[in-house]
């Protein structure tokens, strides 16, 4: 387990939801002066090495956050050693992570919205087949998660 908090956001492709969550978390952590490692990954292999979806980049930029230099990667068992919190964007990815998780790992594995009061158990919907408005909704909801996670880290 790392000594400083280390947060990994995980979706399916690592080009839409988890890079937005990573960008939102970086912005909130910086604003609040919280020191933590932040990264994102996908459970699927299709977008390894790819930049975030252009729609995700535009939405983040509209909110003052640059995510264009992020690159897709696939989650691995090693991530359960490197990160203290592994945060799934939906239940399909939570189930995939439970399979990758090494026995005895102490990393906390939860849905992002489990950290948001009143939203436990809810998923962040995949905007990939939607339009830019769906990416705006994704930004709103991952920002709620980022605020809640930073509040938790501040209180620890
Ligand atoms: P994400 O969205 O999991 O939020 O990055 C997706 C991006 C790509 C694919 C699926 C979901 N895909 O099948 O390529």
What's the DSSP call for residue 112? G
Could you please report the per-residue DSSP string of 22-59?
Answer: HHHHHHHHHHHT---EEEEEESSSTTTTPPPPHHHHHH
The pLDDT, as a whole number, for residue 103 is 96
Q: Is 14's C-beta closer than 6 angstroms to any atom of ligand 1?
A: yes
pLDDT tier, 110 (very low <50, low <70, confident <90, very high otherwise): very high
Instruction: Name the 3-class secondary structure at 155.
Output: helix
Q: Is 12's C-beta closer than 6 angstroms to any atom of ligand 1?
A: yes
Active-site residue flag, 16:
no
Residue in 16, 17, 55, 79 annotated catalytic: 17
Closest ligand 1 atom, residue 11 Cα: 3
Active-site residue flag, 17:
yes
Instruction: Specify the residue with its C-alpha closest to ligand 1, atom 12.
Output: 13
What is the 72 CA–ligand 1 centroid distance (Å)?
11
> Is the confidence at residue 1, as pLDDT, over 80?
no
The pLDDT, as a whole number, for residue 105 is 97
Q: How far apart are CA 141 and CA 87, in angstroms?
A: 14
Q: Is 46's C-beta closer than 6 angstroms to any atom of ligand 1?
A: yes
Q: Is 11's C-beta closer than 6 angstroms to any atom of ligand 1?
A: yes
The pLDDT, as a whole number, for residue 150 is 98
Q: How far apart are CA 77 and CA 86, in angstroms?
A: 11
What is the 148 CA–ligand 1 centroid distance (Å)?
24
Among 124, 148, 92, smallest CA distance to 20 is for 124
The pLDDT, as a whole number, for residue 70 is 98
The pLDDT, as a whole number, for residue 50 is 98
CB 142 within 8 A of CB 127: no
The pLDDT, as a whole number, for residue 2 is 76
Predicted TM-score (pTM) of the model is 0.98
pLDDT tens-digit readout, 114-150? 999 999 999 999 999 999 999 999 999 999 999 999 9
Q: How far apart are CA 50 and CA 73, in angstroms?
A: 8
CA angle 9, 13, 18 (to 5 degrees): 25
CB 29 within 8 A of CB 9: no
Residue to probe by mutation, ligand 1, list 17, 75, 111, 128, most atoms within 8 Å of CB: 128
Instruction: Name the 3-class secondary structure at 107.
Output: coil
pLDDT tens-digit readout, 31-85? 999 999 999 999 999 999 999 999 999 999 999 999 999 999 999 999 999 999 9
């Amino acid at each position: 387990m790392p000594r400083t908090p280390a947060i990994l956001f995980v979706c399916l492709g690592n080009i839409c939801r988890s890079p937005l969550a990573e960008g939102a978390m970086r912005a909130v952590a910086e604003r609040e002066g919280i020191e933590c490692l932040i990264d994102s990954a996908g459970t699927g292999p299709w977008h390894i090495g790819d930049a975030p979806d252009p729609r995700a980049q535009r939405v983040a930029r509209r909110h003052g956050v640059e995510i264009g230099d992020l690159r897709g990667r696939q989650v691995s068992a090693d991530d359960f050693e490197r990160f203290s919190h592994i945060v799934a964007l939906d239940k399909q990815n939570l189930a995939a992570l439970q399979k990758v998780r090494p026995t005895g790992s102490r990393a906390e594995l939860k849905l992002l919205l489990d950290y948001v009061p009143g939203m436990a158990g809810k998923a962040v919907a995949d905007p990939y087949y939607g339009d830019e408005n769906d990416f705006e909704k994704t930004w709103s909801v991952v920002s709620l998660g980022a605020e809640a996670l930073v509040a938790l880290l501040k209180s620890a």
